[in-house]
Every structure is written in structure tokens, then in C-alpha cells.
Amino acid sequence: MAKKASATKKTPPSKQIESLASYYMLGRSGLRVSPLCLGTMTFGKEWGWGNTEKESEGILRAFLDAGGNFIDTANFYTLGTSETYIGRFMKKAKNRDHIVLATKFTLNMAPGNPNAGGNGRKCIMQSCEASLRRLQTDCIDLYWMHMHDGMTPVEEVMSALDALVRAGKVRYVGFSDIPAWYAAKAQTIADWRGWAPLVAMQLEYSLITRDIEREHVPFALEAGLGVTPWSPLGGGLLTGKYTRDGVVAGPKGTKGAGRLSFNKNAKSPRLSSERNWEIVDALLAVAQDLGRSTAEVALNWITKRPGVTSTIIGATTAAQLKQNLSALDFDIPAELSAKLDAASAIKLGFPYEFLVPGGNVSKMVAGGTNVRPHPKWYHGK
């Protein structure tokens, strides 16, 4: 866990400060979710790390007691143990109706069986039934396609998901880790056929990974899908635990110590780059100015991005969860947020820069006049 910055400067008051008990509609749906969603990939030790059932229950209770209501898992997480732990907890606590429960299909749970993975109707139906058993519930609130398999026709995917909604086994559907064009095609077909539409997209998004701002975020805003970022701390790089020379902060022998190394010889060159270290430098400066940890600032920044409804956080300890939840306790002043925006900015490329509003091409379209989609006051801003 990143340490608090030593600065004593207090965050100025802001009307934008929210709490975990502030709820928002998930996309163009009636589903109310908390601004932070608890990811449960750490529930279970089948992958050689993670939490015991008792520890997982403690994290779940702490999240719900703080006002959170959105829990995200997947059939594949810890080989089904994550779903099993959540199911036992909900049965014991008798709080199923209070929880917005999301899980996923796609990844193969039966090696050697090609139909036990992917996004075909057979896999979707089998995966849903198995998840319902492990979760000990009769309905999944949000059923995610875990990722694009590159093969299954989108018509088959949306038809199968619609059948689950009509059968009462699933309430809402969403896509994770997909090309924007595929999500757009799926939504168009669903609208045309009168099938259950997508209400959300789960995508990697952080200060160091802003690629979805090119197409996914504009599509989400246009089509009414809520964006739920995963890995908002950039695979750990934005937690403050790692340095340019690859040293991991904290005592040796701890869970995070040495597990990731972000130096020039790192196995993760996508994360270990000069650009990313410059983002970390800017993040550290802003965190020190606010008297907050880098993790808190990075999480706060992502929760305020256009299109974002609920950000997925993970925690292996109660202390880590508490710090992540505190990311909602303050607001980043505009001038400091601008520094983070500038340090992490990406090039949009063609055609987005070619068609930029106010650019030469848009001036030719408008014939030299000033054209806007709406008056400035149209949306009440």
C-alpha cells in the first residue's frame, strides 16, 4: 500500500466530492451502482496468491458496510472459487438483494473442451448455469462477455444473452475487452431486433492506459453505456510502490515485494517506459501537493473521466481497501488535474485529429460560421 504523502496541504472544498454511498445509473439502464466496484479476482488461492475465504468475507463486509453495492467477479477467477466465496457469503449474510452482482463468461473452465470457452451459445448457457450454482442465486444482475474471442458471430452472442434475460437468469448484459466496432455492431443489432441491449463496457483504463478515449468512450457516451475501468492503478505502477530502478517499496517477503519489477529490463515493457515514469513523476507531485497517496489520486482521477460510471478496485487487505475507498474523499483542483491530463495525454491520430472541432476541416464544413451541436447552456452546465 502506498504511503501517505508527507505534505500537510489540505484539499480545498469541492462540490464534486462524493462518497461510496452515492449511486449512479449504469449506462442507459435503471440499475443503480456505487462509484467504486469491488473486483474479486483475489478471492481464493488457486493461483498461488490471494485471500482465504475468511479474508475475502472481511473485505466484502467492509466494502458493503462503507456503502458499496457493486461486486464484480468471473467464472474463471481462481477457477470458480471467487464465485463460490461470494455465494456462500451472500447466503450467510442474507444480503443478495442489496448487491449488484456481476460475473463473466468466455474463458475456458474445462481444458480440452473447445466448447467450454469462447462466446458461442453453448458456452454462454453452460457458463451461466454453472455461475448461478456457485453464486447460489437465481439471477445475475450484470452478465459480462469477458472478451472478444475473434470468431463468434455477434448475432449469436446477443441472441443468447437476450434469451438469458428473457428467461430471468440475467438482468443486464455488458461487454469487456472488445474492439469498439464490435460493441457498436452488437448494440445496433440489439436495437434493431428488440433484444436486450448492452448497458456497460468494462475496459482497461488508467493514467497510463488511455487508449479507449479514441473510440470506446465516445461510443459509450453516444450509445448510453456506462464505462467501468479495470486496472485503474496501471498494474500497480501508480500505487507508489515502484521506482525507476525497479526497487519495490516495502519489506521483503510481503505479497507485492519483488512480484513486479518495472525497470528498464522489466518483462513488462508496456508498463516500464519513459512516458509512464514521467506520468508517475507528475502523479507523485500532485499527490504531495494534496497530501494524498499516489493511489488515491490516480483512482480519484479515473472516477471523474467522461463516460465512467463505476471503477473496479481490488484489495487483498482491509487497510488496502480503506485507502482505495478514501479516493472519493476529495477532489483534485482543476489546475492539478490538468497536469495529470497533460502528462498522460495520448495522440488520437487519424481521423480524430483530422476532424478536431475548430480545426481547418470543421471550418470548411461550417463555411466559416460558428456551429455547435447545442448552446453552452443546453445541458445545464
Question: What would the pLDDT profile of 45-78 be if each residue is shown by its tens digit?
Answer: 999 999 999 999 999 999 999 999 999 999 999 9
Q: Which of 6, 11, 1 is nearest to 329 (CA)?
A: 11
What's the average model confidence in pLDDT over 313-342?
95
What is the C-alpha to C-alpha distance for residues 104 and 107, in angstroms, rounded to an integer? 9
Least confident of 107-111, 116-120, 273-277, 354-358: 354-358
Q: For residues 241 and 284, is the Cβ–Cβ distance under 8 A?
A: no
Percent of the chain with pLDDT over 90: 77
Q: What is the pLDDT of residue 291?
A: 96
Helices 121-135 and 81-93 cross at an angle (nearest 10°) of 40
What is the C-alpha to C-alpha distance for residues 102 and 144, in angstroms, rounded to an integer? 7
Query: Would you say residue 18 has pLDDT above 80?
Result: no
Percent of the chain with pLDDT over 70: 88
Q: What is the pLDDT of residue 112?
A: 96
Query: Would you say residue 15 has pLDDT above 70?
Result: no
Question: What contacts 213, CB < 8 A, 6 or more positions away?
Answer: 346, 348
Q: How many CA atoms lie within 13 A of 263 on its CB side?
A: 8
What is the C-alpha to C-alpha distance for residues 14 and 3, in angstroms, rounded to an integer? 24
Placement of cell 500497480 in the chain: 236
Highest averaged pLDDT of the listed ranges 182-186, 237-241, 356-360: 182-186
Query: Would you say residue 261 has pLDDT above 50?
Result: no
Q: How many CA atoms lie within 13 A of 334 on its CB side?
A: 1
Reported confidence tier of residue 248, pLDDT bands at 50, 70, 90? low
Q: What is the pLDDT of residue 120?
A: 98
Q: What is the pLDDT of residue 104?
A: 98
Beta bridge partner(s), residue 70: 100
Give Dmax over CA atoms of the chain in angstroms: 66
Q: What is the pLDDT of residue 38?
A: 98
* Residue-wise pLDDT tens digits, 362-374: 888 888 888 888 8
Least confident of 66-75, 127-136, 261-270, 307-316: 261-270
What's the average model confidence in pLDDT over 338-351?
96
Give CA torsion, residues 120, 121, 124, 126, to 10 deg.
Answer: -120
C-alpha to C-alpha distances, 354 to 247, 309, 360, nearest whole angstrom? 42, 29, 8
CB atoms within 10 A of CB 93: 14
Q: What is the pLDDT of residue 380?
A: 81
What is the C-alpha to C-alpha distance for residues 178 and 169, in angstroms, rounded to an integer? 23
In the predicted model, what is the mean pLDDT of the chain? 90
Query: Would you say residue 128 has pLDDT above 50?
Result: yes
Query: Would you say residue 257 has pLDDT above 60?
Result: no
What is the C-alpha to C-alpha distance for residues 40 and 34, in angstroms, rounded to an integer? 16
Q: How many CA atoms lie within 13 A of 73 on its CB side?
A: 30
Helices 294-303 and 274-290 cross at an angle (nearest 10°) of 100
Annotated catalytic residues are 77
User: Global pTM?
Assistant: 0.89
Q: How far is CA 290 from the centre of its chain?
A: 24
Q: What is the pLDDT of residue 356?
A: 84
Q: For residues 193 and 187, is the Cβ–Cβ distance under 8 A?
A: no
Query: Would you say residue 288 has pLDDT above 60?
Result: yes
Reported confidence tier of residue 135, pLDDT bands at 50, 70, 90? very high
Query: Would you say residue 118 has pLDDT above 70?
Result: yes
Greater pLDDT, 370 or 116: 116
Q: Quick one: DSSP state of residue 248?
A: B
What is the set of domains in the chain, with CATH numbers? 24-346 (3.20.20.100), 349-381 (no CATH)
Q: For residues 164 and 143, is the Cβ–Cβ distance under 8 A?
A: yes
Q: For residues 39 and 312, is the Cβ–Cβ distance under 8 A?
A: yes
Q: What is the pLDDT of residue 255?
A: 43
Q: Which of 71, 32, 28 is nearest to 200 (CA)?
A: 28
* Residue-wise pLDDT tens digits, 193-246: 999 999 999 999 999 999 999 999 999 999 999 999 999 999 999 998 887 776
Sheet with strand 140-145: strands edge to edge: 226-230, 198-204, 170-176, 140-145, 100-105, 70-72, 36-39, 311-313
Sign of CA dihedral 335, 339, 340, 346: positive
* Residue-wise pLDDT tens digits, 137-180: 999 999 999 999 999 999 999 999 999 999 999 999 999 999 99
Q: What is the pLDDT of residue 216?
A: 98
